[in-house]
Amino acid sequence: MDIQTWTYLLVGLSFALYIGIAIWSKAGSTKEFYVAGGGVSPLANGMATAADWMSAASFISMAGLISFMGYDGGVYLMGWTGGYVLLALLLAPYLRKFGKFTVPDFIGDRYYSNAARTVAVICALFVSFTYVAGQMRGVGVVFSRFLEVDINTGVVIGMIIVLFYAVLGGMKGITYTQVAQYCVLIFAFMVPAIFISIQMTGHVLPQLGFGATLNGTDVYLLDKLDGLSTDLGFAAYTSGSKSMIDVFAITAALMVGTAGLPHVIVRFFTVPRVKDARISAGYALLFIAILYTTAPAISAFARTNLLQTVSNKEYSLLPSWFANWEKTGLIAWTDKNGDGKIQYTAGAALTGKPEFTEQRGANGERLLSNVNTATTNELYVDRDIMVLANPEIAQLPNWVIALVAAGGLAAALSTAAGLLLVISTSVAHDLIKKQLKPNISDKGELWAARIAAAGAVVVAGYFGINPPDFVAAVVALAFGLAAASFFPAIIMGIFSKRMNKEGAVAGMVVGLTVMLFYILKYKFGFLGGGTKEDWWFGVSPEGFGTIAMLINFAVSMIISRFTPAPPEEVREMVEHIRYPKSDGTPREEEPSSVLAH
């Protein structure tokens, strides 16, 4: 069978499975809609957490970024891995013991203020919408190639699918769907990695192939890749060009931003006990490590194959994969010197995304209207295609190529569903139930959550059609927003009995405002714009969440010192979530007398 037939088959079967699970696990109450009834096993929750965590950024874009950035791309790997460990060990058990399954609910009760709750809802919406934009773009990228539709149509198809099982099943449906999606995505990621590792190095495990010699030679893979890169005018793959301060800032922003991601935190409330939350966190770390330790190998394999397959080759003799991806607009070639060969060198080939015209060139290439004549580079490659195109470049069987498409969709849709649930929960539970209509019925709240999820899908689709950057770069901005807003409020809410509502609210508002200002100015060119030379302290927008977080901490602590201390019962509440009972017996369940405050 051809690639498209295999894709329809495997994607259709996986979607049928997801929808079937959603119907089977339809939520009948707000508890099932928000936290799956609190009865999920640690193993299943670990798999669901891993799927929720490993979004399109992890599956599709992270390896692509590392392929093009080389050593510098490692910041995403370090930041996201370290961030999950930070969340699982430092925050999740305490938040689970506190008993509030949304970040705004925790902040509202801990800081005894609906104003704090409202600010937290706004922060959650900013973070979630920014994050979900990356997921919807990932869906569009996959559909555009493998179902041969344009990216916009692909995003709409993804919207319909995720709307169905997120709105119908809520967290209950999403949890068991994500278990299936983890199995699909990890199988889809590992199978081609193993194939290509054997093909290039003879090693079954890609992690070993990454540091091995190429088949039939005594040349190491990374040495070969360094040589290919420098010969074409690129920096050596294993060398870094980012400043140390920016590397540190991006890594830290990704780590602490993880700790403030509401869609991951809520996963620790779907298990019965605090102990189960800890166990499921361990399982999730194991499941995440399988993909994250494989990603650097995938990156090196893909980059090596791309350079050897395309560079200095005649366009008319290129393999079919190039023409297939060229149709999507995610790869493009312009023959600047008229020799019919692709000159792939450092520098931008185009001034932005490809703008195709109706004409064809002398060598059959699609002519572009936005050629960058300042460089000799003739090839444009969207970084988000590297993982998806890798099996085709390596000439793997058609079923493997289609399997990767199914895996990419599973990764994007699983996280998109979790984020949409956070958005709907923030609106229905934290805004309507807790503030606007406290007496709303359980059924009414459930319907409000579903309507909010439907509205969120529409907004997410818009951002997927009009994305601000590559998937992983968009997601990095979401982590920066979470670091700038939530992380200090959560950390000090757990570990500082003196932190009060005035300090927390002021810190969140200032942190979020400064982060948004920096993104708008240096990422999108608003507010007068700015260049790399104008970055504050030499820190990129992806890493500025670290600076904004420090500003948040400083503002929070200063304001709290000059305003009244929290009430005694709030200080006792903080004491309770950090320590066991006086007789040494750990508390597994939270006392309603404290949490009802």
Quote the CA–CA distance of 476 and 540 in Å, as a whole number: 11
pLDDT band at 583 (very low <50, low <70, confident <90, very high): very low
Could you write out the three-class secondary structure of 226-256? Answer: HHHHHHCCCCCCCCCCCCHHHHHHHHHHHHH
Residues 266-276: what's their mean pLDDT? 77
The one-letter amino acid code at 381 reads V
Helix, coil or strand: residue 439: coil
CA dihedral 526, 531, 534, 539 (to 10 degrees): 90
Q: Which two tokens stand for residue 109?
A: 């009760």
Fold category of 3-14+41-302+396-472 in CATH: Hydantoin permease (1.10.4160)
CA distances from 38 to 35, 61, 229 (A): 6, 33, 51
The C-alpha atoms of residue 363 and residue 445 are separated, in whole angstroms, by 61
Residue range 528-556, pLDDT digits in tens: 877 888 899 889 888 899 999 999 999 99
Q: Which residues contact 238 (CB under 8 A, 6 or more apart)?
A: 70, 71, 222, 225, 226
Q: What percent of the chain has pLDDT over 90?
A: 16
Domain residue extents for the chain: 3-14+41-302+396-472, 306-391
Which residue, chain included where needed, has tokens 């990603």? 295
304-333: per-residue pLDDT in tens? 988 888 888 888 888 888 888 888 788 888
Mean pLDDT (the chain) is 81
- What pLDDT score does 213 carry? 93
Q: How much is the pLDDT for 155?
A: 81
What are the structure tokens assigned to 386, written together?
């590297």
Distance CA 296, CA 67 (A): 8
pLDDT tens column, 181-235: 888 889 888 999 999 999 999 999 999 999 999 998 999 999 999 999 998 888 8
CA gap 296, 150 in Å, rounded: 29
Of 479, 504, 510, nearest to 490 by C-alpha is: 504
pTM of the model: 0.79
CA angle, corner 246, sides to 240 and 248, nearest 5? 95
DSSP-based three-state secondary structure for 573: helix
Within 10 angstroms of residue 564's Cβ, the number of other Cβ atoms is 9
Residue 93: pLDDT band (50, 70, 90) is: confident
State how far the Cα of 473 lies from the Cα of 524, in Å rounded to an integer.
Answer: 13
Contact assessment for residue 330 and residue 385, using Cβ atoms and an 8 Å cutoff: yes
Dihedral angle sign, alpha carbons of residues 174, 177, 183, 185? negative
Residue 116 has pLDDT above 70, yes or no: yes
